[in-house]
A and B are shown apart, each in its own frame.
Chain A
């Protein structure tokens, strides 16, 4: 080898991940030409650590480990602007979703604990009643955050309490949750259905 040149250190197929993803989900990241339409359409890209087009790129480059520690896909609102406007019909929103699912399947720590906790608490309430009750959802979320060491500011606590009071007064928050007659079926789904999760 001539002096000054560097040999490529090829250790594996960097596209194995994206190829596997395309086969299983139809999400074709290799179609991306980095036009940034997804990022420009995204209403929350300013709140993301890396942007939607960069997520697509990292999947193509097979950078799974570093990508799964990012917060960007947790911040995603699933508004589907990216998927709707992508000129190459890459389902970017579904990709964001797949990444959240992967973090859960691999039992990693989500980069956005508050957002992941909110989703988990939602499924807890769903499991318990088959339907969602907003007051239960809020209470459980706040307790779970406190238990994880997140202390809300005094001012926020007062603001939330005042809003809660206003909403209870208007019957928009119900103290007693209503359960679905099909509650037990839902428990079965929540506890057994998820075993069939596709990888």
Chain B
């Protein structure tokens, strides 16, 4: 597999450093070379398109220019960045005359999770799993940005996306079905509007428990942060949540890291507010009792 340019996105610098470290560890184990864009800048996210549509295209475009200089397809870790970059590429390509001089825009923009769930990499994962997570029940949470709208994303599986589920199965765990795979977590609305954010997050947690899942696997830094960081606060207010053990929220790369036996993902797991380590320790204990 050819090397890829890599766009990490702002969240991976601080809030979601655990995602960044787990991507590095998993990519190097799978012989996937990711070359970070040296001068990447923020995609503008929701703020840019809400306040200034022109800027919401201009900001991602300068990253596409930078990626094209490397002459490689671009892998993107954050769903929000993935969508803004993909949207920009489509929008600019439509207005042929406005494409900056010398820019071809002919390289692909890839969502890292979908890429890892492609058959070639999935096979490499299956071959290298050292700690299969047998018996672990997981629901996959995709959020909005990697599935909607299908016209921009380029996949029409928005009703029932399955790439994270395939990764869960490759890690040896059980992918549990639920109806909330692509339900919005409230994004950053929880900061200016506490009630809206908390309501949507609580609903997702309640539904995950109802599905019988022991953990949630996520692909979006904002979804992971929302579901993890507000759990202690929500548990104090919500009886349904208190009846269950706290629910660990893992990135797919962290889950793969555990299954592949990569110690490099362990410090990152400790940065979660809901510590996922006890779940995996008890899983191993059960496994050794049966085995």
How far is B189's CA from A117's CA once the two chains are assembled, in angstroms? 12
Residue in A77, A84, A101, A112 whose beta carbon sits within 8 Å of that of B51 in the complex? A101
Question: B183: which of A43, A132, A172, A173 is its contact (CB, 8 Å)?
Answer: A43
Selected contact of A43 from candidates B15, B41, B184, B188, CB within 8 Å: B184
A118 to B186, CA, bound (A): 14
Contacts of B58 in A (CB 8 A): 189, 193
Which residues of A are found within 8 Å of B196, using beta-carbon distances? 44, 47, 75
In the complex the two chains form, what is the Cα distance from A125 to B52 in whole Å? 15
Interface size class of A (residues with CB under 8 A): 35 or more
Q: Are B55 and A172 interface neighbours, CB within 8 A?
A: no
| Contact (A141, B191) CB under 8 Å given A81-B184, A171-B17 | yes
Q: Which single residue of chain B is at the shortest CB-CB distance from A152? A: B194
Complex interface: chain A residues within 8 A of B59 (CB): 126, 186, 189
Give the residues in chain A near B14, CB-CB below 8 Å: 133-135, 171-174, 178
Q: Is the interface of B mostly helix, strand, loop or mixed?
A: helix
Contact A180 B44 (CB under 8 A): no
Q: Do A181 and B38 touch (CB < 8 A)?
A: yes
B interface size (C-beta, 8 A)? 51
- Given A123-B48, A181-B38, the answer on whether A115 and B189 have CB atoms closer than 8 Å is yes
Write out the residue numbers on chain B whose beta carbons fall within 8 Å of the beta carbon of A119: 46-47, 50-51
Give the CA-CA distance A79 to B59 in the complex, in Å.
Answer: 20
Expressed in whole angstroms, the minimum distance between the Cβ of B41 and any Cβ of chain A is 4
Q: Is the CB of A118 within 8 A of B55?
A: no
Q: Do A172 and B271 contact each other (CB < 8 Å), given the known contacts A101-B52, A132-B42?
A: yes
User: In whole angstroms, how far apart are the Cα atoms of A104 and B54 in the complex?
Assistant: 13
Q: Which 10 A-B pairs have the closest CB atoms?
A: A122-B47, A79-B184, A114-B192, A132-B10, A119-B47, A182-B39, A80-B148, A174-B14, A170-B271, A118-B192
A contact set with B: CB distance below 8 Å: 43-44, 47, 75, 77-81, 83-84, 91, 93, 97-98, 100-101, 104, 112, 114-120, 122-123, 126, 130-135, 138, 141, 156, 159, 163, 166-167, 170-174, 178, 180-183, 185-186, 189-190, 193-194, 196-198
